[in-house]
Amino acid sequence: MHMFPADSDVVEALGAQRDFQPSDQEHFARFSGDWNPMHMDALAARRTQAGARVVHGMHLLLWALDHLASSNDRIGFLTSAKVQFPAFVHLDRQVTLAVVKNDSDGMRLQVMVDQTLVLNATLKFGENIDSVSRPKVDADTIVIGDTPLELEFEAIGPQAGRLGIPEGETKLAERLFPALCRALGTSAVCEMALLSTVVGMVVPGLHSILSKVAITFRGGECLLPECDFRVSRTDARFRQVELTAEGARISAVVTTFARVPPTPAPTLEAASALVAPGEFRGRRALIIGGSRGIGAATAKLIAAGGGTVTLSYAEGRAEAEAVASDINRGWGSSNCTIFRYDAKAKAEPQLAALPSSFTHVYYFATPQIFGPRRMEYSAERFLEFVKIYVDGFYNLAMALVKSQAPSSLSFVYPSSIAVVERPRYMSEYSMAKAAGEILCADLVRNIPGLSIDVPRLPRIDTDQTATVPPVAAVSAFEVMLPLLRGQRN
């Protein structure tokens, strides 16, 4: 039997680093059963507030503990872990593990991405606690596939059930987290992974975010890993959901959020109810970034008013096709065409194949707006915004001005109220939009006949602005229709 190590024997594990690749996600999903698309599907994840695939929080925790266990006997005496996941970890980003406190009270781990805290864990140790029988829970075993449940918030409250790890997959635990399985037992590791599966696949399920876990470890013989769970509290104000979970080797309280589902795409039918027939007849619109959100809404409004639309997508081809299909079905003709456009690449070759000249150009190209929230400033992030909001718009505008008379073109460059309101942790975004405003003013001053509207848009209800807790935002139609009406036809 291991002896509980004295403080002086504890090895500080500092500076462990790694990144997570799609294959890592696949392995963890196979082992745990958590196939939530936020982790596995690039296109679906793009429509969440994470903006791209993110690492499973429990995967991050198990990696951190496994790394510590490989060099530190103390992990074998873990009695409890309180863990917070304050920010998402995207794939390919380097994470760094540090032990920031280590004394007789316990240990505190932090995992960082750049200067952003993404995991904070407080660990307590002691002589192995006696085996305590798992409380009996009257729960049905749930067989999960690879599609998470999608529950209305009101339906979450009564949820309860039991999940298990398929027998063969426990071996995968020993391959993925060998040191931790030796230290805590394979059952405990499997049951920790099952917490991820409960949250990501069952409740809250599809639209979930793991926020915190508080785990107490039980001793005892190695049993078949299982996890009984029950929703213990919901709070509709914040869409917060708390679960209790009981396994053979762990007991846990899990705090999660039920994300607001992605904003439904605005329909041509809804746009037609707002726009007079023929209101935008003769308008030949080029919409850069039109596959979703405000770009898609603008396309629908112009099409509803009798204009023709050419819209671009960067990654969401299927979404762009859905926008075009809705418009063309409504009109019974090809009023909308789509093409791929990369705002960071040269504009002219990408525009060369387009069929006609344009009267109006709308520039909604954007990277993910809401990023890590612990950094006051990141030059890398600022440059990412500048490439699209400044360089990308300049390249597009100059390419179009070369191919047709400036006086025949009317641009909309969407700026933001962030330029004046300056929300915290959005310095880079606000600065890049301010730079875009200056560029537009100078282009208008230097190119006779050129017209660029530069509205400072409020927070608009799109996938990009959907947050936990929900923040008030206005509809894209409400914002764009007066703008479109104010433009020359």
Partner 1 sequence: MNEQEIYEALTGIFREVFDDDTIVLSPDTTAQDINGWDSQAMITLVVAIESHFGITFRTAEIEALESVGEFAELIAAKCKAVA
Residues near partner 1 (CB under 8 A): 82, 84, 86, 108, 117, 120, 122, 211-212, 235, 237-238, 240, 255, 257, 373-374, 424, 467-469
Output 33 or 51, the one with its CB closest to partner 1. 51
Structure tokens at 38: 């936020």
Confirm if 164 and 173 have CB atoms less than 8 A apart.
no
Beta-bridge partners for 81: 123, 215
Distance, CA of 199 to CA of 156 (rounded, Å): 11
344 versus 373: smaller Cβ distance to partner 1: 373
- CB-neighbour burial class of residue 244 (10 A; exposed 0-12, middle 13-18, buried 19+): middle
155-178 b/e with 16+ CB inside 10 Å = b? ebeebbbbbbbeeebbebbeebbe
Least separation in angstroms between residue 230's CB and partner 1 is: 18
Nearer to partner 1, 29 or 210 (CB): 210
- Minimum CB distance to partner 1 smaller for 49 or for 197: 49
Helix (H) or strand (E) holding 79: strand 78-84
CA 387 to centroid of chain Cα atoms: 21
Taking the complex as a whole, the smallest distance from the CB of residue 238 to partner 1 amounts, in Å, to: 5
Q: 30 vs 212, which CB is nearer to partner 1?
A: 212
Judged by CB, which is closer to partner 1: 258, or 440? 258
User: Closest distance between partner 1 and the C-beta of residue 113, in Å?
Assistant: 15
Nearest to 198 by CA among 186, 213, 183: 213
CB of 110 vs partner 1, minimal distance in Å: 10
CB 76 to partner 1: min, Å: 24
Rounded to whole angstroms, how far apart are CA atoms 116 and 114?
6
Least separation, in Å, of the C-beta of 104 and partner 1? 15
Q: Shortest distance, CB of residue 188 to partner 1, whole angstroms?
A: 23
Between residues 257 and 385, which has the closer beta carbon with respect to partner 1? Answer: 257
Q: How far is the CB of 86 from partner 1 (least distance, A)?
A: 6
| b/e 368-395 (16+ beta carbons within 10 angstroms → b) | eebbbeeeeebeebbebbbebbbbbbbb
Residue number with CB closer to partner 1 (139 or 417): 417
> Measured between alpha carbons, how far is residue 63 from residues 18, 68, 74, 114, 484 in Å?
10, 9, 16, 18, 51
Tokens of 66: 């496994």
